[in-house]
Amino acid sequence: MNIDFETLKKYYLHQICSHEVWRSIEWNGVPFQQIPEDIVALAEAVNQARPDAVVEVGVYDGGGLEFYSMLLASNPRGLVIGVDLKIRDKAKGVTDRHMDRVKLVCGDSVNAETVKAVRDLAGDRRILVVLDGDHAATHVGRELDLYAPLVSPGSYLIVMDGAIKDLVGIRKIPNDAGTNNPDKAVEQFLPSHPEFERDITKNRFGPSLAPGGFLRKKISFS
């Protein structure tokens, strides 16, 4: 069989999304709706950026909160800030277990008051941001503009699920995802934000729901 790696990745991603394998992924017993390859990439990004705070926009059941909390466990200033329009019971359970290092902000991610609450909680910490909520291009574009200033130089602004542009037809993928998706927002964001660049090394593990979605803030730029 002679199949190039890119074709194989696309086929594999289509299959695991068609069968909703990501629904079975948990972190420390909490549903974490990511695929294994992206979990490795996320862990590597956090390890390399060494943030004091991870801001996760779109927490759902809270598996990400649990994941980032464990990654920051050895940092005495470690803090995970979750943002969502509705906080589910499982996510509240994560904060109950980690009250000292997990905080939740309930509100619209693009509301000025929500962003201010995140900024106030983070304080002077070194910050990494993960956007994984509403995947419409316009909404993600607004999030990029609002949360990019929070990201510390050398850290990451990570935009999940740009891969939905290639997954139209799979259950729960919007019919217009081919043109209305997170990656479209990234394409529109980068030309006017030269301080950020795509870190494609984070997609070397194989298939990814965030191809090209790991944006690194340059330490210096001109």
Residues 163-191 have pLDDT tens digits of 999 989 888 889 999 999 999 999 999 99
- Angle between helices 112-122 and 137-147 in degrees, nearest 10: 40
Query: Rounded to whole angstroms, what are the CA distances from 40 to 13, 53, 67?
Result: 16, 19, 11
Average pLDDT for 39-64: 97
Q: Which residues lie below 8 Å from residue 161, measured CB to CB, with a gap of 6+?
A: 132, 135, 181, 182, 209, 210, 213
Residues 208-219 have pLDDT tens digits of 999 999 999 998
CA 210 from centroid of its chain's CA atoms: 8
Residues 111-151 have pLDDT tens digits of 999 999 999 999 999 999 999 999 999 999 999 999 999 99
Q: Map out the domains of the chain with their CATH numbers.
A: 5-217 (3.40.50.150)
pLDDT, position 222: 58
Residues 74-88 have pLDDT tens digits of 999 999 999 999 999
